[in-house]
Amino acid sequence: MINLTIRQMSELLVSKQINVQELSGLFHDRCRVHNQTTGALITLNNEINAAELLNAQASIEAGDSLLAGIPLLHKDLFCTQGVKTTCGSKMLENFVPPYDATAVKRLADAGMVTLGKANMDEFAMGSSNEHSAFMAVNNPWDLSRVPGGSSGGSAAAVAARMVPIATGTDTGGSIRQPAAFCGITGIKPSYGRVSRHGMVAFASSLDQGGVMAPGADDCGLVLSAMTGHDSLDSTSANQPPWQWKKPETADMQGLKVGVASAWIEGLKDPDIKQKTTEAIEQLRCNGAEIIEIELPHADLAVSAYYVLAPAECSSNLSRFDGVRFGYQAKEISDLESLYRQSRTEGFGEEVKKRIMIGAWALSSGYYDAYYLKAQKVRRLISEDFKKAFTEVDIIACPVSPELPFKHGEKVDGISMYQADKFTIPASLAGLPCLSMPIGFSENPQGRLPIGLQLIGRYFDEQSILSVADKYQQQTEHHLQVPEAFQ
């Protein structure tokens, strides 16, 4: 049961071989049992929401949603009415939103059943999930290693099949990198595709909600229900809801896949290099034409990102003042001290670091030299992609230059930032991109998952998901479950 696709689970629900309570209960139990070892959830709902179960049952009987009755977790930065939304921070430890995020509401309307909230790096800042204020998340493939971040709880929960689906968000790689580290599929759609209303903001021009699941078909089905214009988000794209179409065959005749060979040749990890090469070869064997491309400004992406994302973060997180909601410092006698002490005690060290970098980049004397300069570099990177997409349909490249690392192994923040060099370029350009499992390292470090990134044209989620689904029709990497969780 735990390794069934959404379509297979839906079939069982419709044919009454299982009912919604049983299916949700099964995964709820798995969340309870495995949360101690994985730390994947911050909140497991005590009881499964009765209204959601009724809605799911009605949808199943009406036959109007394949998602009806399918359980899921939301990353703990999606506001959930009446359910704590902490963003992995002491600042929001007791925050219970009075409303649902649009994405949450749309999935509930489609009949999905929310079991709880997934752990994450505080305010989505981190690539290891070691920056959660509550507990680190362990990678189900090796509990001594990180699951990636910031959507590490979502990725670990899906990898351990504690849930079949989890939402995530991606600012510079926060869906794709944990998906790669945990051996699952994760898609960050085009910027503007999914409403950000009710998503606690980190960097407003980069944040985008998406989906994490074992396979591409599941991602496509759930993403379809999350999309469509939302008047409550002024950056929501004025597009009708997108509808995923599962390809019937694995044939890739006519598809042009762009590859920047230098990115692959520069990989230091031999397993990642080999699996990436093999996966691209598999696309070629299926009929795709592999075309060399150049992205000449992409090596400046990490530097530009660490101006832009902190700048936006310093602005967005200024709302946490200890007065209207969130943590408030005790026994403070003046307003200025109340602001400063509440923020100093409520935020973790990584969040404070990024707020300070952002405040510096936006301050008088540095705004033009750094913030505007980084925005110009962002355009150069975006133009590189536009040029590449005149010759190719999708781009294939690594997700991360490294395998999941040990907890506490990376004490140098900069090297963790640099490891996002393959995911950040597409984020800056706002392009849809995904990570799909392409195999495992088989070295003394153990059996650790490896992902391949596919990047598409703006609003062309269909092409990248189709290629991932076709690849997954012929491979079983995405179906692997760590032994301890089978």
Partner 1 sequence: MSINRKELEEIATLAQLNIPESQVNEITISLNQVVAMIEHINEADTAAVKPMAHPNDAVQLVRYDEVTDGSHKDELLALATQADDDHYLVPKVID
Residues involved in catalysis: 75, 150, 174
Contacts of 342 (CB under 8 A, 6+ apart): 320, 321, 322, 326, 327, 328, 329, 332
Alpha-carbon span 438 to 128, nearest angstrom: 21
Q: Quick count: other Cβ atoms within 10 Å of Cβ 411?
A: 7
Beta bridge partners of 440: 449
Torsion 62-63-66-70 (CA) sign:
positive
User: How near is the Cβ of 192 to partner 1 at its closest, in Å?
Assistant: 6
| 63 burial type by CB count under 10 A (0-12 exposed, 13-18 middle, 19+ buried) | exposed
User: How near is the Cβ of 169 to partner 1 at its closest, in Å?
Assistant: 15
Pick the closer one to partner 1 by CB: 93 or 289: 93
Pick the closer one to partner 1 by CB: 281 or 383: 383
Query: Which of 168, 218, 160, 178 has the alpha carbon at shortest distance from 32?
Result: 160
Pick the closer one to partner 1 by CB: 32 or 352: 352
Alpha-carbon span 249 to 471, nearest angstrom: 10
Q: Which two tokens stand for residue 37?
A: 């070892």
Query: Which of 111, 225, 212, 123 has the alpha carbon at shortest distance from 160?
Result: 212
CA angle 10, 14, 17 (to 5 degrees): 95
Task: Name the H helices within 137-229.
Answer: 152-159, 176-182, 216-226
Specify the 3-state DSSP secondary structure of 109: helix
Pick the closer one to partner 1 by CB: 88 or 358: 358
Judge if the upstream peptide bond of residue 150 is cis by omega within 30 degrees of 0: yes
User: How near is the Cβ of 327 to partner 1 at its closest, in Å?
Assistant: 8
Residues in contact with partner 1 by CB under 8 A are 95-96, 98-99, 190-192, 205, 231, 234-235, 237, 297, 300, 302-304, 306-307, 314, 318, 321-325, 328, 332-335, 337-341, 343-344, 347, 352-353, 355-361, 363, 370, 372-380, 382, 413-414, 417-418, 428-431, 458
End-to-end CA distance of the chain, in Å? 10
Stretch (H or E) spanning 202: none
Pick the closer one to partner 1 by CB: 213 or 313: 313
Pick the closer one to partner 1 by CB: 16 or 376: 376
User: How near is the Cβ of 308 to partner 1 at its closest, in Å?
Assistant: 9
User: How near is the Cβ of 86 to partner 1 at its closest, in Å?
Assistant: 13
Stretch (H or E) spanning 103: helix 102-109
Pick the closer one to partner 1 by CB: 68 or 302: 302
Task: Please spell the DSSP secondary structure of 219-288, one letter per residue.
Answer: HHHHHHHHBS--TT-TTS-S-PPP-----SS---TT-EEEE-HHHHHT---HHHHHHHHHHHHHHHHTTP
User: How near is the Cβ of 385 to partner 1 at its closest, in Å?
Assistant: 10
